[in-house]
C-alpha cells in the first residue's frame, strides 16, 4: 500500500490569501499546504479520500492517470467541492466514478451538484455512482480492499474516518469515542488532524491531536488539516514527540 498526502492544509489552505505571517511567507515547500486529501494505492486501485477545491492541481502535480473510487469524510466544501473536476477520469476510463459517504453527505453532494443528478444531464457533466456508508462498518469496495468506517465527531457533526488495513485517516475530528479508539488499534500509519494551538470547537488542537495519537499508538503518525497558526513545518516538527510528524503535501508513505 502506498499513501500520498495530496494536501495537508485546513480549509483556507496555506498560505492564506493576503496573509503575510512567517508561515504564509515561508519559502519552504513543506509550508505550502493545499486543502486536505490523500490518495491510497492498494491492490492496483487508486482510492481518493476527499475531493476538495485543489483536486485538479493535486491530480496534475502527481500525474494521476486513473482514479477508482472517492471516499468522503464529510460534506464541508474543503472536502467535496472539487467534484466537477472528476470529468477527465469519466472520459478516460469510461466509468461512473464511485463515491462513498454517509447518506447525509451524499444528499449534500446531490444538492450542491444538482446538475450531475438531472435525469437528462448536460453532455460532459460529471458521472458518479453513489454508495452509502454507515459508521462502524466494513465494506469490501474492491476485491481484497476492505474499508472500515470510523465514527468521529467534528464539533457536533458525526463524520467518518477510514481504516484500510494498517492505515487510518482521520480528518476534521474534535472527539473520538472509546469504540472508535478500539477500532484504531494496531495501526502502522495514522494520519490525524491538528489545526492550531488554541482551542477550537470542531477541530483537534495540536495537543489534543498528539495525546489522541499517543493513545491510538500507531507506529507512525502524521498530522494534517494544518492551519498557518500552527507555524512553520520545522517548528511543528521540533514540538512533536517520537514517531509523530507534521504531514506535508507530497509526502509518500509505504506500508
Ligand atoms: Zn476540513
Ligand atoms: Zn498566515
Ligand atoms: Zn469540516
List of residues 6+ apart from 235 with CB closer than 8 A: none
What distance in Å separates the CA atoms of residue 131 and residue 40, rounded to the nearest whole number? Answer: 18
For residue 177, how far is its CA from the centre of ligand 1 (angstroms)?
20
Overall average pLDDT of the 198-218 stretch? 98
Sheet with 244-246, side-by-side order of all strands: 138-142, 145-154, 157-164, 167-170, 189-193, 220-224, 244-246
* Ligand in nearest proximity to the CA of 17: 2
For residue 112, how far is its CA from the centre of ligand 2 (angstroms)?
29
Overall average pLDDT of the 211-224 stretch? 98
For residue 14, how far is its CA from the centre of ligand 2 (angstroms)?
7
Q: How confident is the model at residue 190 (pLDDT cuts 50, 70, 90)?
A: very high
Q: What is the CATH number of the domain that holds 241?
A: 3.60.15.10
Q: What's the pLDDT score for residue 254?
A: 98
Q: How confident is the model at residue 253 (pLDDT cuts 50, 70, 90)?
A: very high
For residue 229, how far is its CA from the centre of ligand 2 (angstroms)?
7
What is the pTM (predicted TM-score) of this model? 0.98
* Ligand in nearest proximity to the CA of 11: 1
CA distances from 86 to 2, 52, 66, 184 (A): 21, 11, 10, 31
Burial of 128 (0-12, 13-18, 19+ CB in 10 A): buried
Q: What's the pLDDT score for residue 230?
A: 98
| Set of cell numbers at residue 143 | 476485491
Range of the domain at 25: 2-254
Q: What's the pLDDT score for residue 74?
A: 98
Q: What's the pLDDT score for residue 137?
A: 98
For cell 466544501, name the residue. 77
Overall average pLDDT of the 190-203 stretch? 97
User: In 10 A of CB 102, how many CB atoms?
Assistant: 21
Q: What's the pLDDT score for residue 172?
A: 98
User: In 10 A of CB 15, how many CB atoms?
Assistant: 18
* Ligand in nearest proximity to the CA of 22: 2
Alpha helices (runs of H) in 36-153, residue ranges in sequence order: 55-61, 77-80, 87-93, 103-112
For residue 11, how far is its CA from the centre of ligand 3 (angstroms)?
8
Our count of domains for the chain comes to 1
Q: To the nearest 10°, the Cα dihedral for 85, 2, 14, 237?
A: 170
For residue 143, how far is its CA from the centre of ligand 1 (angstroms)?
30
Q: How confident is the model at residue 127 (pLDDT cuts 50, 70, 90)?
A: very high
Q: What's the pLDDT score for residue 15?
A: 98
Q: What's the pLDDT score for residue 87?
A: 98
Q: Phi and psi at residue 192, in whole multiples of 5°?
A: -140, 150
Q: How confident is the model at residue 130 (pLDDT cuts 50, 70, 90)?
A: very high
For residue 11, how far is its CA from the centre of ligand 1 (angstroms)?
5
For residue 75, how far is its CA from the centre of ligand 1 (angstroms)?
9
Q: How high is the mean pLDDT of the chain?
A: 98
Overall average pLDDT of the 223-238 stretch? 98
Q: What are the tens digits of pLDDT across the range 84-124?
A: 999 999 999 999 999 999 999 999 999 999 999 999 999 99
Q: What are the tens digits of pLDDT across the range 145-186?
A: 999 999 999 999 999 999 999 999 999 999 999 999 999 999
Q: What's the pLDDT score for residue 175?
A: 98
* Ligand in nearest proximity to the CA of 230: 2
Q: What are the tens digits of pLDDT across the range 22-35?
A: 999 999 999 999 99
Amino acid at each position: 500500500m502506498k499513501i500520498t498526502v495530496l494536501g495537508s492544509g485546513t480549509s483556507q489552505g496555506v498560505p492564506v490569501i493576503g496573509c503575510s505571517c512567517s508561515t504564509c511567507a515561508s519559502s519552504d515547500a513543506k509550508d505550502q499546504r493545499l486543502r486536505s486529501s490523500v490518495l491510497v494505492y492498494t491492490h492496483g486501485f487508486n482510492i481518493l479520500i476527499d475531493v476538495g477545491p485543489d483536486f485538479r492541481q493535486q491530480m496534475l502535480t502527481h500525474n494521476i492517470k486513473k482514479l477508482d473510487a472517492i471516499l468522503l469524510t464529510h460534506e464541508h466544501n474543503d472536502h467535496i467541492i472539487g467534484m466537477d473536476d472528476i470529468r477527465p477520469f469519466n472520459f478516460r476510463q469510461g466509468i461512473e466514478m464511485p463515491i462513498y459517504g454517509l447518506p447525509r453527505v451524499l444528499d449534500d453532494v446531490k444538492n450542491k451538484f444538482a446538475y450531475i443528478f438531472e435525469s437528462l444531464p448536460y453532455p460532459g457533466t460529471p458521472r458518479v455512482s453513489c454508495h452509502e456508508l454507515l459508521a462502524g462498518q466494513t465494506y469490501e469496495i474492491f476485491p481484497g480492499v476492505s474499508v472500515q468506517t470510523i465514527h468521529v465527531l467534528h464539533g457536533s457533526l458525526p463524520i467518518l474516518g477510514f481504516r484500510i488495513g494498517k492505515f487510518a485517516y482521520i480528518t476534521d475530528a474534535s472527539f473520538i469515542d472509546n469504540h472508535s479508539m478500539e477500532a484504531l488499534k494496531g495501526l502502522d500509519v495514522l494520519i490525524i488532524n491538528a489545526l492550531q494551538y488554541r482551542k477550537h470547537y470542531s477541530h483537534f488542537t495540536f495537543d489534543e491531536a498528539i495525546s489522541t495519537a499517543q493513545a491510538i499508538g500507531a507506529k507512525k503518525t502524521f498530522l494534517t488539516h494544518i492551519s498557518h497558526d500552527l507555524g512553520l513545518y520545522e517548528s511543528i516538527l521540533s514540538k512533536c514527540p517520537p514517531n509523530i510528524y507534521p504531514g506535508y503535501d507530497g509526502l509518500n508513505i509505504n506500508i
